[in-house]
A and B are shown apart, each in its own frame.
Chain A
Amino acid sequence: MIPGDTVDMLTDRMTFEQKEIQRKLFGFDQPLVVQYGQWMGNVVQGNLGVSLRSGNNVVTEITQVVPATLQLGVFGGFIGILLGVFIGIVSAVRQDTLVDKSLRFVAYLGISLPEFWLGTLLILLFSVTFQILPAGGYVAFSEDPIESLRVTLLPALVLGFAMAAFLGRVVRSSMLEILRQDFLVVAKSKGLPVRTILLKHALRNAAAPIITLIGLQIAFLISGSVIIEEVFVRPGLGRLLIRSIFQRDYPVVQGITLLFAVIFVTTNLIIDIIRGILDPRVGEAERLGK
C-alpha cells in the first residue's frame, strides 16, 4: 500500500490527535472489511460517498467531468469507425496493391504508436508549428460549439486513429473472406454497381465480427481517453481518476472504477445480444452448447 492516508495528504499542520479525530470522521479507524461493507451498502442505494478532497458528493464529482470524456469518446469513436471501415474496405478491394500495402502500414503504425506519443506529435505539428489548433483544454459544447469541436479535434483524432487501425485490419480480413463467396460473384455478374455490392451485400455479411470489435473497442476508448486526457489537459474522467489516485481520494477512485466496470459489463452484454440478432447461428450454437 502507498504509505500514508488521505488525512496525511490533506494537511501536515494537524497534531496527531487532530488527525485521529479526522480519521474517525471518515471512518478510517474501522477495519477494511467494515469500510468495504459500508461502501457497498451505500452503493446499492446510489450513494458513492463523499470526495475526501473537495467534500462534494462523488456522483456530482463524476457527472461534472463526464461530458468532456463523452464528447471525446463519441467524436473519437465516430472518426475511428468511419476511418476503420474505409481503410478496411479499400484495402480489401485493392488487395496486394500499393494502396493496400500503404494502408496496412498506416494501420500498423496506429497499433504500434502509444497514444501519448501520437498526441505529442500532433500537438507539435498543429499547435506549435502551424498554430492552427489549440494544444488542449476543454470548452463545453453548449458554451461555444465551434471552439468546443476545435479543442476536441486533436484528441479525437488520436483516439480515432488507434481505433481505426484495429478496426481496419478486421474489416479487411472479413471483407476478403466475403468477397470470395459465390453470391458476390453472382451479384457482380448481374451487373450491380460496385458501391451497392460492397456496402449492401458484402459489408452487411461482414458485419458480425466488426460489430463485436466495435463493442470491444468501447473499453479501449475508455482506457485510451485516460491517457489522451492527460496529454491534452482535458478535464474528463481520466484526469479526475489520475488526480484522485495521487491525492489518495479513494471514494472518487472507487466510484470511477465502478462506473468503468459497469460500462464494460453492459457493452459486453449488448454486443452478445446484437450478435445474436445479426447472425442467428450464434445464439443457436450457444444454446446447443457450442
Chain B
Amino acid sequence: MILKGFIHRGFRNPVLLLSSVMILLVVLSSILAPLITPYDPSEMNSKVRLSAPSVEHWFGTDQFGRDVFTRVIYGSRLSLQIAITAVFTAVIIGGIIGILSGYYGGWLDAITIRIMDVLIAFPSLLLALFLVAILGPDIKNLILAISLTRIPYFARLVRAEVASLERRPFVEAGRMVGATDFRIMIFHLLPNVFPLILVFATMDIATAVIAESSLSYLGLGAQPPTPSWGRMLTEARGFLGRAAWLSIFPGFFLMVTIISFNLLGDSLRDIVDPRLRRGNK
C-alpha cells in the first residue's frame, strides 16, 4: 500500500522524489565508501597539509594531510550506522512498550507512561550527554544513549494509536472468534500502526543524526581518528580563517542528510495520513 502510493506520487511530488534520491545517494556512498574514495580516511600525508580543494583532493586536505572528501564519505557511514541502529532499537523497544501498555492499559500503562513522561521532560540531547558521560565515550554507548532518548517518543506514539484502535470493531471481532491477545497485537494492531511508525522513524533518523553529530562535536562521540562529521567540525575550528573547506564540506553533507530525512518523513506522513496535511494548511 505504501510502496504503491510512493511510486504513484513520486512523479507528482518533487519533494518526495528529491529527498528519496538524496537519501539513496548518501546511503549508497556510505556503503560503497571504500570503492569511491581515492584515499584511506586516516592516511596522513605531510606534503599536502591544509591544501585547498583541487583535482587530486576534491574537498582539500586537513592539518594532517588527510583527504577531506574521503573522510566526509566515511563520516556518512558512521552517522548513518549510528542513527539507523539507534532508531531501529528505539522502534523495537518503544513499539513493544507502546503496544503492551496501550492494549492492556491499567496499572502497567500508568507506570510505563509516567516513566516515559519523565524521560521526555529532560531534553534528549542533555540526557544522551549525561549517559555518554557516565558510560564513557564510544560508538556503542553513543548508540545506546541516543536510542534510550528516542524510546519514549515511539512508546507514546504507538500507545496512543493502539489505545484508540483497540476499541474498534475489528479487534472486538477478533476477540469474539477467540484470537489470543498475542495474535490480536501482532496480526491486527501492528499492521495498522506500522505506517505511522515508519513515518516517525524516518524523521527520527534526522534527529538521531543531529544527536550523533552534536555529541561527536562535543568530543563525546566517536573518538579520533574515526572520521565523523561532528568531530571534523570541532577539529576544523582552529582553521576557520585559513582552511574554511575543513568545516564547509562535512557541515554541508550533514545538513543535506538531515534535511533529506526530514523531508522524506514529511512526504511519507502526507501519504500515510492525509488528514494531517489538510490540518497543516
Q: Please report which residues of chain A, range 11-57, place their CB below 8 angstroms from some CB of chain B when the two chains form the complex.
A: none
| Residue A149 interfacial (CB < 8 Å) | no
* Inter-subunit contact B281/A96 (CB<8 Å): yes
Query: What is the size, in residues, of chain B's interface with A at 8 Å between Cβ atoms?
Result: 37
* Inter-subunit contact B125/A114 (CB<8 Å): no
Residues of B near A117 (CB, < 8 A) are 233, 251, 254-255
Residues of A near B240 (CB, < 8 A) are 120, 123-124, 127-128, 135
In the complex, identify which listed stretch (B104-112, B190-198, B211-219) lies at the interface while the others stay far away.
B211-219
Q: Please report which residues of chain B, range 230-281, place their CB below 8 angstroms from some CB of chain A when the two chains form the complex.
A: 230, 233, 236-237, 240-241, 244, 247-248, 251, 254-255, 258-259, 262, 280-281
* Inter-subunit contact B126/A124 (CB<8 Å): no
In the complex, identify which listed stretch (A74-82, A220-228, A281-289) lies at the interface while the others stay far away.
A220-228
Which residue of B has the minimal Cβ distance to A218? B123
- Distance A245 CA – B133 CA, assembled complex (angstroms): 6
- Distance A117 CA – B213 CA, assembled complex (angstroms): 10
* Residue of B124, B135, B220, B247 touching A120 (CB-CB under 8 A): B247
| Residue B134 interfacial (CB < 8 Å) | yes
* Inter-subunit contact B218/A111 (CB<8 Å): no
* Residue of B121, B136, B210 touching A114 (CB-CB under 8 A): B210
- Distance A95 CA – B281 CA, assembled complex (angstroms): 8
* Inter-subunit contact B121/A264 (CB<8 Å): yes
* Inter-subunit contact B130/A112 (CB<8 Å): no
Q: How many A-B residue pairs have CB under 8 A?
A: 95
* Residue of A1, A108, A135, A222 touching B259 (CB-CB under 8 A): A108
Give min CB distance, A247 to chain B, whole Å. Answer: 11
* Inter-subunit contact A261/B135 (CB<8 Å): no
Using known A-B contacts A116-B217, A128-B241, determine if residue A220 contacts B123 with beta carbons closer than 8 Å: yes
* Inter-subunit contact A223/B125 (CB<8 Å): yes
**Interface SS of chain B: helix, strand, loop or mixed?**
helix
| Residue A268 interfacial (CB < 8 Å) | yes
Which residue of B has the minimal Cβ distance to A230? B218
Contact with A along B119-148 (1 / 0, CB 8 A): 001111110011001111000000000000
Query: What is the size, in residues, of chain A's interface with B at 8 Å between Cβ atoms?
Result: 41
| Residue B113 interfacial (CB < 8 Å) | no
- Distance A128 CA – B246 CA, assembled complex (angstroms): 14
* Inter-subunit contact B280/A173 (CB<8 Å): yes
| Residue B206 interfacial (CB < 8 Å) | yes
* Inter-subunit contact B280/A120 (CB<8 Å): no
Residues of B near A1 (CB, < 8 A) are 134-136
Residues of A near B218 (CB, < 8 A) are 226-227, 230, 242
* Inter-subunit contact B133/A253 (CB<8 Å): yes
* Inter-subunit contact A223/B219 (CB<8 Å): no
* Inter-subunit contact B217/A230 (CB<8 Å): yes
User: Which 5 A/B pairs are nearest by Cβ-Cβ distance?
Assistant: A223-B123, A2-B136, A245-B133, A117-B251, A223-B125
Beyond contacts A113-B255, A127-B240, A231-B237: 16 other A-B pairs, Cβ-Cβ < 8 A, are A1-B136, A3-B136, A95-B281, A108-B259, A111-B262, A114-B214, A114-B217, A117-B233, A124-B248, A128-B241, A223-B126, A227-B214, A241-B129, A242-B219, A260-B126, A265-B121
A positions within 8 Å CB-CB of B: 1-3, 95-96, 108-109, 111-117, 120-121, 123-124, 127-128, 135, 173, 219-220, 222-223, 226-227, 230-231, 241-242, 245-246, 253, 257, 260-261, 264-265, 268
